[in-house]
Amino acid sequence: MSRARDTEPWADEMQIELLRQAGPTRRVQLCFELTAMAWNAARSAFDRMYPHETQDERDRRFLTSIYGRQLADDFIAYRQKVKGPKNERLTP
């Protein structure tokens, strides 16, 4: 099994043991938390890179990078239909 290059072997082993002891429910919870953290970090990066765009424009750009243009456009169109346009811009 490949190990993290930036982690000492003893710390890596301890982490694996703690995850084993945590049980399946806690491991799934950690998975969701880490996924949300990564998603939010990536989304925040788009906000910083494109502050001149509206929220809809940034969301479309972000979702396009993950799911492709068609699904991103479909999502934005649906959200606008349900909640109205998100035209706020960030102040850099």
Give residue-wise pLDDT tens across range 70-79.
999 999 999 9
Phi, psi (rounded to 5 degrees) for 54: -70, 170
Is 91 a residue whose pLDDT tops 70? no
User: How sure is the predictor about 60, in pLDDT bands with cuts at 50, 70 and 90?
Assistant: very high
| Angle, vertex CA 17, rays to CA 16 and CA 18, nearest 5 | 90
Q: Which of 88, 27, 11, 82 is nearest to 56 (CA)?
A: 88
Contact 3, 12 (CB under 8 A): yes
- Looking up tokens 């919870």, which residue turns up? 29
Q: What is the pTM of this model?
A: 0.67
* Domain parsing of the chain, residue ranges: 23-83
Closest-CA residue to 87 (of 63, 53, 64): 53
